[in-house]
Amino acid sequence: MSTAMKTAGFSSSRRLLLWSGIVALCAWVIVPIYLVAIGALGGRTGVYQWPKTGLPTGLSIEPFLLFLKTEGVVQSFLNSLGAAGITVTLSILLGAPAGYALARYTFPGKDGYRLLVLLTRAFPLAILALPLTVSFIRLGLYDTIVGVGLIHTVLALPFAALVTQGIFLGVPRELEEAAWVFGCTRIQAFFKVVVPLALPGIVATAVFAFVISWNEVFAASVLTVRNRTLTAYLLTVLSESPMHYRFAGGLLLILPSVIFIFAVRRYLFAIWGISSK
């Protein structure tokens, strides 16, 4: 009896510790976003309020709407979405097959390819944008969203290949071979056996590709003049913007990603849940 109670007490104190850790880590993520949102909605008076309470007082959507009405903000937001869309599509279409080849086959030149992929990732994209400027002007890609999407794909594609390789390595090849034995063609086996198991990882890869493009500042600013992405636009106006405009810009950069990750969460976590059972 007393042993059972002791065990129960021990396990409940462990659960308390577990949940305080979880709550602390959640607060660590959420509180800063909450604070910048207050900064974005508090306007000029909010910025100079001292000392701050951290409570949502004196908030209004007006300062944020005023920021959105600033010339160039909405257009640069749409440009960022377009560039990210191109990046996601290209990097998955080109990267996932390569990741599969790396995971499943041994072939001469494999190490060379891996090195190429790693080398790509080991180089700052920012500088590559410079020599590309000249070629892009010649090809009519300079100052276009397609041009930005292409160079963002250079950055996202190696991730896509590396991450999908890890994902395909985690799908037991015996399952695929079993499908062949039961009469599936290679392509059927791939789409019926491998893809369902690899899907959460491939979605995660697409999230990475989106995020890489959405986050990228330098190449976007080098390769565009009028068709700026949101990050390039904000970087150009950063030093002359008042504080509450910077916070509004930060919030505008954050909002789509929160929505985006919320939209794919079931897709990501449903299969993560199954695989952890």
Partner 1 sequence: MTNDRPWLPYALILPSVAFLALLFVVPLVQTVWLALSENGAPSLANIRTMAGDINFARSVQNTFLLALAVIPVQIAIALAMGTLVSKIGAGRETILWIWTIPLGISDLAAGMVWLAILQNTGYLNSLLFGLGLIERQTAWLTYQTPVALFIGIAIAEIWRGTAIVMVIIVAGLNQVPKEFREAAEVFGAGPWTRFWRITLPLIRPALQSALILRTVLAFEVFAVVYALGGRNFPVLVGEAYAWQNQNQNYGVAAAYAVLIMVISLAATLVYLKIVKVDPERLP
Site for partner 1 in 79-108 (CB under 8 A): 90, 93-95, 97-98, 100-102, 104-107
Which of 59, 89, 253, 267 binds partner 1 (CB under 8 A)? It is 253
Q: Is 13 exposed, middle or buried (0-12, 13-18, 19+ CB in 10 A)?
A: exposed
Among 4-12, 36-44, 60-68, 70-78, which window interacts with partner 1 (CB under 8 A)? 36-44
Does 10 contact partner 1 by CB under 8 A?
no
**Which CB, 154 or 227, lies closer to partner 1?**
154
What is the closest distance, in whole angstroms, from the C-beta atom of residue 142 to partner 1 in the complex? Answer: 14
Closest alpha carbon to 4 in 12, 50, 31, 187? 12
Q: How many residues bind partner 1 (CB under 8 A)?
A: 110
Q: Which residues of 123-133 are buried (b: 16+ CB within 10 A; e: fewer)?
A: eebbebbeebb
Q: Which residues have CB under 8 Å from 211's CB, separation 6+?
A: 257
Decide whether 164 or 227 has the Cβ nearer to partner 1: 164
Return the closest-CA partner of residue 64 out of 73, 53, 55.
Answer: 73
Q: Which of residues 134-193 bind partner 1 (CB under 8 A)?
A: 135, 150-151, 153-154, 157-159, 161-163, 166-167, 169-170, 173, 177
Stretch that binds partner 1, among 5-13, 47-55, 62-70, 71-79 (CB under 8 A): 47-55
Strands (E), 180-263: none
Q: Does 237 bind partner 1 (CB under 8 A)?
A: no
Residues 100 and 186: their CA atoms lie apart, in Å, by 13
In one-letter notation, the amino acid at residue 150 is L
Q: Which stretch binds partner 1 (CB under 8 A): 4-12, 18-26, 63-71?
A: 18-26
